[in-house]
Each structure stands twice: as structure tokens, then as C-alpha cells.
Homo-oligomer: A and B are copies of this chain.
Amino acid sequence: MSGMTKPASKSLAPEARPYHHGDLSRALVEAAQRILEKDGPAALSLRAVAREAGVSPAAPYHHFKDKGELLEAVAHEGWTALDAALTAARQKAADANERMTGLGVAYVCFARDNPAIYRVMYDCSRDKDSLPDQLKDDGAYCQVRNTIDERSGGTVSEIDLELATIAAWCAGHGLAEMIGFKQFDPLKEALGGEEAFLRAVFEHLGMFARLDQG
């Protein structure tokens, strides 16, 4: 018992973390994501997150003022991930029309593959009555608008561009919220799979109808 007590306790029991965690906020966000993926949004209590991170139920309150603020952090990472998914889809597309449809399909697929996080993203937005500012500065929303602008050759008015972006965004969100609904199953089958169904719906939306005729 001379001198080496502290490092020894660390190396001998690596799971017994020190009193000060080091980066608990990060650990909490990751714990929340783990719970969301495993058991869904209903299981996401602050206490469960603390449990998963291995700290006391009150510990999170030193990093987030309440549960909502932790969820906001989770949502923030969700929007970043969505942004990345849209960027990837945009680069994969050939022509302008395909690029737009691909963006829509990628959006809905993100929601389908990350339903719990997608839920949290919009729950947070609704609490604040606004989408995060994150989206405006070269984020996901901006990508959609840019894609529409490119397709029209940059000749469309600012208002029409904004309206078309909103229309596309709303359609994508609506479809994202319902993509798992059983009512669509026969149609998905008839069209040869879920992605084909998505493309068909987006094509029916004809989001450029007005831009093309004006």
C-alpha cells in the first residue's frame, strides 16, 4: 500500500470508473442512443439513461438542465446524421430529377431505419415550434433547397424556391411518418418493394409541377 494505490485501482478494475467520469455528457447521449435503438422511445427515461451510463439518477442534471435538454442533444446528432445521409444520396444521383427523387427516398429510408431517433428529432422540434437552425446553414433543409434550385437552373424566385422546398420537405416527413403503415403493404408488393413504392409516391407528388409551368 505505498504510492501505487490510485493507478492500481484503475488498472485492476477497469469497469469501476473514477468518481469524476471524464466526459459524462457524451456518455449520456450515447447511452440514450443505445436505449433508443434497443427498446424504442418509450423506454427512454432519464433514469434509464443514467443506469445505462453507470451513474446515479441525479448525475445527468449536472450536464443537462432537464430531460428535454438531453433529448435535444440526441436530436442534434440525429439531424447531423440525416444531413450526412442526404449528402451521400445527392452525390450518387445522375441527373437533376433523379437527384431530387433520390433525396426523398434517402430521407424516408433514414426515418425507417432510425425510427426512434427520428421521433425524438421531431418531438423536440414540436416543443420549440421550429426546426433546428442547424438545418438552414448548409444542413439537410438547405440541401433540398439547393437541389431544387439547381434543377430549375437558378431561375426560380426566392418565394417559389422556398415554397417548393417546404412542399417537398412536408411530403417527405409525412411519408416518413407513415412508411411503416400496414395499409401500404399491398402497394409495396405490387410495385416490387418498398423503395420502388417510395419512388412512385414521390413521382406522383410532381414537386416541380408549378416551377415547370411558371
Q: A: which residues have CB within 8 A of B? A: 122, 125-126, 129-131, 159-160, 162-164, 166-167, 169-175, 177-178, 180-184, 187, 190-191, 200-211
Q: Which chain B residues lie closer than 8 Å to A209 at the CB level? A: 204-206, 208-209
Q: Which chain B residues lie closer than 8 Å to A171 at the CB level? A: 167, 170-171, 174, 205
What are 14 of the A-B contact pairs (CB < 8 Å)? Answer: A129-B180, A131-B183, A162-B187, A163-B200, A163-B201, A166-B187, A167-B171, A167-B202, A169-B174, A170-B177, A170-B201, A173-B178, A206-B209, A209-B209
A182 touches B126 (CB 8 A): no
A126 touches B173 (CB 8 A): no
- Copies of this protein, total: 2
Complex Cα spacing A79 to B191, Å:
29
What 4 additional pairs, Cβ within 8 angstroms, besides A170-B201, A174-B177, A206-B208?
A130-B181, A159-B190, A167-B205, A172-B174
